[in-house]
Structure 1
């Protein structure tokens, strides 16, 4: 079976970001009929592949009340989503005037899927397709463009959750998982994992360098779940918001990670060095579970895993 392993946040899976110029005050011109918006693309990390190539041709905005707005890029953006990790953003639209008001969603418009591909770590090139029934999955939640102001959003196109290779298929499928955040309301989480020490603990069953799981709110270690578990209601908080791989930056045993574009608030962070294949529920062992607080515009450093 082919699978996408967990690597770093940015494409934690396949990720996309929409950025608009940050956080303006609409009170200075309440009668204005337009606002300024910029759009970019970011990605959350994924393992097992070195490239996830797509083509973006534009954006479609759906006002809560009014005609759809189409923004066509001057040139199609040929993107390797894995280049957009660790908070990197690809600008798609910059300081674009659009009608002010409430919007129901924003949708990424894709180019010819014959140009989509996945390059595996072994060097093989695989086809990549977005099933027709999942095209609507390329749209985000609602947002507001302030009259006479500027606004900044990021669409996180979570590749780790989106990229699958179903049994019996001869190609990867992209089943989009997107989240939209306001750039003025998000922060960044960084930390380190002492993988050399953890790898000596046979009870953990380490089979690769592992990844850090980030959950919204306070979740006890016994309730932590993997990527494939689908939960609803209050239990949805026990599914990871993002999963980011750890990366060896130097010659020592400390591996680092970064999770960007996290809305301000309380989070539970934990680590597993077992493979999560995103195609079946896995009985993962977690270690180093801790609570962190993310503040808007700030970088929070988590305690080293395992703690002293």
Structure 2
């Protein structure tokens, strides 16, 4: 990438930060913990502001380096007087002093810092700090060697403004450290396509700390006790507060609470890395304020744009005191086996007669059940199987032969069908799934069988003779075997009767009944669902 022909313009970055300081006026005479390369030098008799840069790591394996070129720091006096503009220089080579300081952020993890600048200031109150960068030289370098400019949508609008009030005393320096959390700040516009400039988008998520007060850190070992678990993908999430009030949750940055509900989000994340000197997997949070924290080990991807459901392997309450060795909290990669089962009724199956997709079905419907088995643990599950004891259920058809091996974050599905019988009132059936070294899990589905109307199946007798007993035994059926049927006459000649239980009609026609006699009989069940039969009896 050659930007030598592009005009170098200054991009002023303004982002409101959540300032995590113990006091609003973070004065003090503590020196910088950063390496002081460059033209700035701290005078013991002077006063002003020291700014250091640190970073939380990014877990994109394609990113080798993240370069940001700083050109100025602007400080705003609280009394509204003119801003103080401090040019950032790099005097590593005294014979070639550069009018900027270029910092590679990925090298500043695990508590490492680099000096951005020492800014002499008069005694007084100040209300904010603003950083100025050169966007033509703020870029990503991938492991392939290719480098690309980063896009910052907010940079050309409000910029990055560090709203942090502070006071400069008559003597002494205030020392701040700015934490660029790249894991939260960087996204890739087109992750599955070849890269171009501005495909990487920077959405700065920063912390600003009083370096003197941020006098602690949390660190430790992560022991790997199983070859299937990979510590290289693990992180330790750190939350402000003890275990009694903290329920660890994922990174989720969207301000829309329908996307990112208000829960316990991590203050910072420390990557688990292999210490090549000791052969151990370790982590280090970098600078934090002394206090009570909750640390949680997680070993899966976390998309900051969505509310992920993460599996936290271990959690621990950590008291981080202001001591040189920090607070040590070790973790162990524990095998967690979680077999899940979800059984559902597929209302949209082609052979399902329940076309209204309701929770009720009728006799004769063919129901299709789906059983989804999942592995939400962190190791593979073996000898996975599922059974369903419902009498009349078809043989299970699964997309993987059972017993199966189920890798982490994968599922398998089985289906079976059942034809609703006349004796079914409510169908309750429970599937059971099992795997090696796990407890069986159950999932049930209940469907109510909708009552259906009866029907009259007999053929009426339509002729009778005066003075001779007429009989017609009305016959009816009901799809629901348990229904009780009642017979009655809706329209009938005088003196005609019907047995309400059996449906037997008796009638002796008189001389006045000669001719046609309209008759209608009804049968109904206990839910008043009914059927009728109308006919005419000719009396001779």
Q: What TM-score do the two structures reach when normalised by structure 2?
A: 0.46
Deviations 1:80-136 (A, max 9, x none): 111222222221223x3213333222121101x222221234544333122245764
SS at match of 2:297: strand
Measured at CA, do residues 257 and 57 of structure 1 come closer, stay the same or move farther in structure 2, by a change above 3 Å? same
**Distance between the aligned counterparts of 1:68 and 1:198, measured in 2?**
58
SS at match of 1:99: coil
Selected match of 2:303 from 273, 277, 281: 277
Is residue 2:125 matched to residue 1:110? no
SS at match of 1:160: helix
Selected match of 1:72 from 87, 94, 97: 87
Deviations 1:39-90 (A, max 9, x none): 2222211122211111100111122222321111132112211122222222
**Distance between the aligned counterparts of 1:275 and 1:123, measured in 2?**
25
SS at match of 1:281: coil
**Distance between the aligned counterparts of 1:237 and 1:144, measured in 2?**
31
Instruction: Return the offset for 1:219.
Output: 4.6
**Distance between the aligned counterparts of 2:71 and 2:183, measured in 1?**
23
Aligned to 1:17: none
Aligned to 1:24: 29
Retained in 1: the 8 A contact 2:179–2:206? yes
- Over the aligned positions, Cα root-mean-square deviation in angstroms equals 3.2
Instruction: Return the offset for 1:22.
Output: 8.1
Is residue 2:171 matched to residue 1:145? no
SS at match of 2:233: coil
Is residue 2:268 matched to residue 1:242? yes
Measured at CA, do residues 229 and 42 of structure 1 come closer, stay the same or move farther in structure 2, by a change above 3 Å? closer
The gaps in structure 1 that reach 5 residues or longer are 1-20, 26-33
Is residue 2:76 matched to residue 1:62? yes
Alignment of 1:180-191 (within 5 A): 180-186=208-214, 187-191=216-220
Retained in 2: the 8 A contact 1:230–1:239? no
Measured at CA, do residues 22 and 256 of structure 1 come closer, stay the same or move farther in structure 2, by a change above 3 Å? farther
**Distance between the aligned counterparts of 1:226 and 1:199, measured in 2?**
25
Aligned to 2:203: 175
SS at match of 2:329: coil
Aligned to 1:16: none
Measured at CA, do residues 232 and 140 of structure 1 come closer, stay the same or move farther in structure 2, by a change above 3 Å? farther
Selected match of 2:153 from 131, 137, 147: 131
Measured at CA, do residues 261 and 303 of structure 1 come closer, stay the same or move farther in structure 2, by a change above 3 Å? closer
**Distance between the aligned counterparts of 2:277 and 2:166, measured in 1?**
47
Q: What TM-score do the two structures reach when normalised by structure 1?
A: 0.77
Higher share of residues assigned helix: 1
Aligned to 1:10: none
Alignment of 1:222-261 (within 5 A): 223-230=247-254, 238-250=264-276, 254-261=280-287
Retained in 1: the 8 A contact 2:237–2:270? yes
**Distance between the aligned counterparts of 2:86 and 2:72, measured in 1?**
5
Structure of greater relative contact order (alpha carbons < 8 Å, 6+ residues apart) = 1
Is residue 2:59 matched to residue 1:47? yes
Aligned to 1:165: 188
Selected match of 1:302 from 328, 333, 351: 328
**Distance between the aligned counterparts of 2:292 and 2:156, measured in 1?**
31
Q: Give the total of aligned pairs.
A: 272
